[in-house]
Chain A
Amino acid sequence: MIKAPPELRYTKTHEWVRPEPDGTLAVGITDFAQEALGDIVFVEFPQVGARVSAGDAVGVVESVKAASDIYAPVAGEVVAVNDAIPGHWERINADAFAAWLYRLKPANPGDLAALLDASAYAAGAGAAQ
């Protein structure tokens, strides 16, 4: 069973995206991704201020087992990273949808509509299992 809260948007590369009241997008990795990675021990965060294009590798999640890139879901500017995560990496494993990693100010707020909804993401991730 693929967990995918209906209020979030998703990428094929297993990021979740949540529109925030201030117009930015919170980005994290999905429960499917954390499960596949296993115990997470480090995140190389994107630089605050970095301008990114959709699909850019902007950071890396490292588990005991492997390193995995984090991609930008849409074009925009990185405006924050989650300072509550370093040293508490297990929070990503415990609740991946609560552990946002960085916030993106989208270049074009309409780009969000091109991302997957929960049912499309769950169907795709389920097929890849």
Chain B
Amino acid sequence: MLKQTVLNAAHRAAGAKLVEFGGWEMPLHYGSQIEEHHAVRRAAGMFDVSHMRVVEVLGAGARSFLRYALANDVAKLAAPGRALYSCMLDARGGVIDDLIAYFVAADAFRLVVNAGTADKDLAWLARLAAQRAEEVDVVPRPDLALIAVQGPYARELAWRALAGLHAASAALAHFEGAFFRDGFVARTGYTGEDGFELMLPAPLAPRAWDALARANVRPCGLGARDTLRLEAGLNLYGQDMDETTSPLESGLAWTVDTRQARDFVGRAALAAPTRVLRGIVLLDPGVLRAHQPVHTARGEGQTTSGSFAPTLGRSIALARVPAGVAAGDPVEVEVRGRRLRAVAVAPPFVRSGASAIERYLEPSQKGQS
């Protein structure tokens, strides 16, 4: 039996094609995945991400505990409301999950973790907490629904739709959040666009969703969410990294904070990587998918995510390739036994709604998107 979010009825009423994702029944699209993608790049779209799990870490030892549990350093969060992206590693340096940590109050942090890994994460955090001396409680909050509103007009339309939101969020910088009603609003997302992620008590979510829809925020499914995050060069857990890969092999070195002599889980196991994650842009016609062989001058690699990029009008991928493959290097991707021409790039592929990879294209191919 698949779990349903509190917005399931709204998705059905809007004609969503529902699919299984991480044990949940979620909307894949509401008609056209590509139109939903463009809505987020050009105007505003919203995603039900209530399948993701909010986990609170509470107590006087919360900060010290998370400094040990996470590869990024929550001590950087100088003031309540600040957030950061981090991996949670195991002792071998493998990625248990990636998450966003919000500093809510002196003795309270909120984590948002992936749906498919939530149970594993909670068990891991509980075990770590039991081993540590800090006074800390790990509390899942399945009573909170999550709505992401994303796009260049997302904030404006959300302010129009939701009374009180403007006062709560107008001053927020990127990666900052604040309390809103009985929930929380943060200027974060997973699309490469501006916008908010709203945590709301579940009973309030359907009305907020309807109000946003009336304000012309387009409902978008997981399909568009995947192409948007891929264009933005954002990893998907379980696909681009997992427990068999370190963050250094996953394009996430920037999230591993080793500037201080801080002891955190996995630190001792982190070694200079022999393989790295790069972006791939396909020059030939075709569509890249996950798990396709990549041939480079420095050896073989493999795509970890691949799709058609609607903003670019061509296909892109993330690929794990030998260290030393640099942006601009020509590569070939094997698709159904044929080698297609491609080029390695440094993600993101799309920035502020526009192509960020034009300089890597052949002169005849520029400006096609």
- Interface flags for B33-66 (1: CB within 8 Å of A; 0: not) read 1100000000000000000000000000000000
Q: Could you tell me the distance between the alpha carbons of A62 and B282 in the complex, rounded to whole angstroms?
A: 15
CB-nearest residue of chain A to B286: A42
> CB-nearest residue of chain A relative to B338?
A44
Cα–Cα, bound, A65→B310 (Å): 12
Residue on B nearest A69 in the bound complex, by CB: B336
Contacts of A62 in B (CB 8 A): 286-287, 308
Which among B17, B286, B310, B336 is the interface contact of A64 at CB below 8 angstroms?
Answer: B310
**Is the pair A39, B287 in contact by a Cβ cutoff of 8 Å?**
no
Cβ of A109 within 8 Å of any chain B Cβ, yes or no, is no
Question: What's the least CB distance linking B209 to chain A, in Å?
Answer: 23
Residue pair B285, A64 in contact (C-beta under 8 Å): no
Q: Could you say which residues of chain B place their CB within 8 Å of the CB of A67?
A: 287, 289
Distance from B336 Cβ to chain A, minimum over Cβ atoms (Å): 7
B32 interface contact, C-beta 8 A: yes
Q: How many of chain A's residues have a CB under 8 angstroms from any CB in B?
A: 12
A128 to chain B, nearest CB (A): 16
Q: Are A39 and B33 in contact (CB under 8 A)?
A: yes
A41 CB within 8 Å of chain B: yes
A65 touches B223 (CB 8 A): yes
Given A42-B285, A42-B308, A44-B286, A65:B33 Cβ within 8 A: yes
Q: How far is the CA of A42 from the CA of B313 in the complex (A)?
A: 11
Once the chains are docked, how many angstroms separate the CA of A64 from the CA of B286? 11
CA distance A39 to B17 in the complex (A): 13
Contact A38 B33 (CB under 8 A): yes
A selection of 22 A-B contacts at a CB cut-off of 8 Å is A38-B29, A38-B32, A38-B33, A39-B32, A39-B33, A39-B34, A41-B34, A41-B308, A42-B286, A42-B287, A44-B336, A62-B286, A62-B287, A62-B308, A64-B33, A64-B34, A64-B227, A64-B308, A65-B28, A65-B33, A67-B287, A93-B32
Other contacts beyond A39-B33, A62-B286, A64-B308: 11, CB < 8 A: A38-B29, A38-B223, A41-B34, A41-B308, A42-B285, A42-B287, A42-B315, A64-B33, A64-B34, A64-B223, A93-B32
